[in-house]
Amino acid sequence: MYQRYIGWYDSNPANLYPWPPEELGKRYVEAIGGEEAAIQKAKAAFDKGDYRWAAELGKHAVFADPENKAARYVEADALEQLGYQTEDPTWRNEFLMGAFELRNGVPKIPATQTASPDTIRAMTMEMILDFMGMKVDGPKAEGKVITMNWSLPDTHEKFAVTLKNSALTYTENKELAGADITLTMSRSSMDNILLGTSTVDKELASGAATLTGNKEKFNELTGLLVNFNPLFNIVTP
C-alpha cells in the first residue's frame, strides 16, 4: 500500500519525466530494429522461459502499433504464463486480464455495482463531495468558476463548494458570500438522489429541497460531472 509521501517515483530522475507509453513504445521498437525484430526477440525470450522480458518487449511493440496482432499475442502469451506462475491472486488476475484484453479487447460486460443503499447511507458528505470532485470533466470545466453553499439541516452540516481551475473543492462549516447557488436538502433526499430513486428536480418540486440563486449555474455544474466507465484499457492504448 502506498500513502502519504510514497508513490510511483523511485527518485531516479530518468523516470521523472518519461515519454508517454505510445511514444515510448515507438522509440523502443525503433531502437530494437523495428516491429518484426521486437516481436522476434519477444518470442525468443518466451521460448527461453523469460516471460517478464517477453512481456516487456511485447508491451512496447503493442503501444507502438496496437493493431499488430503478432505483438498482442506474444505479450498475451507471456502475461498468461506469468499469471499461471504467480501465487498472488491479485497479480494473477492482473496478468490474465491483460492477456484477455490483448486477445479479445476490453470485455463488454456490466460493471460491478458497489453503490448499495447501505454503502450510500454510510458515506459522509465529505466522501460524497470528494467523489463529485473525481467526476469533474477537467477540460470541459476549464475557465469556469461556480460557487455554491450546500446545507443539510437534519444533520446540521453545511459546506462551501467551489469549482475553479477545473477542480471541485469544499470547506465544511463555511458559507460563501454571494454564492451562485444555495442548495438546501435533507440527507435522506441526498441519499435518494445518489441511489437513483429520485432526482434533484423531483426533490425541488416536492419541496423536500430548495435551491436559490442561479439555477443555470447549478445545471452547468451538474453537467460537468461525468460517469466514467470502470472497464477501461489496461494493456493497450
CATH code where residue 219 lies: 3.30.1050.10
> Higher confidence at residue 116 or residue 184?
184
Domain count of the chain?
2
Residues 91 and 122 in one domain: no
> Higher confidence at residue 209 or residue 6?
209
pLDDT at 117: 82
Return the C-alpha cell found at 87.
501465487
Does this model's pTM top 0.85? My answer is: no
Full domain range(s) for residue 30: 13-104
Return the C-alpha cell found at 43.
518470442
Residues 188 and 215 in one domain: yes
**CA-to-CA distance for 116 and 118, rounded, in angstroms?**
5
**CA-to-CA distance for 4 and 9, rounded, in angstroms?**
13
Mean pLDDT in residue range 140-158: 96
pLDDT band at residue 140 using 50, 70 and 90 as cut-offs: very high
Q: What is the pLDDT of residues 7-61, one digit of tens each?
A: 777 778 898 899 999 999 999 999 999 999 999 999 999 999 999 999 999 999 9
Residue 22 within any structural domain of the chain:
yes
Residues 72 and 133 in one domain: no
Residues 88 and 144 in one domain: no
Q: Do the Cβ atoms of 142 and 166 come closer than 8 Å?
A: yes
pLDDT band at residue 210 using 50, 70 and 90 as cut-offs: very high
Residues 173 and 219 in one domain: yes
Comparing CA positions, the residue from 215, 197, 228 lying closest to residue 131 is 228
Own/partner contacts of 169-173, CB < 8 Å, gap of 24 or more, are 169/133, 170/126, 170/129, 172/126
Mean pLDDT (the chain) is 92
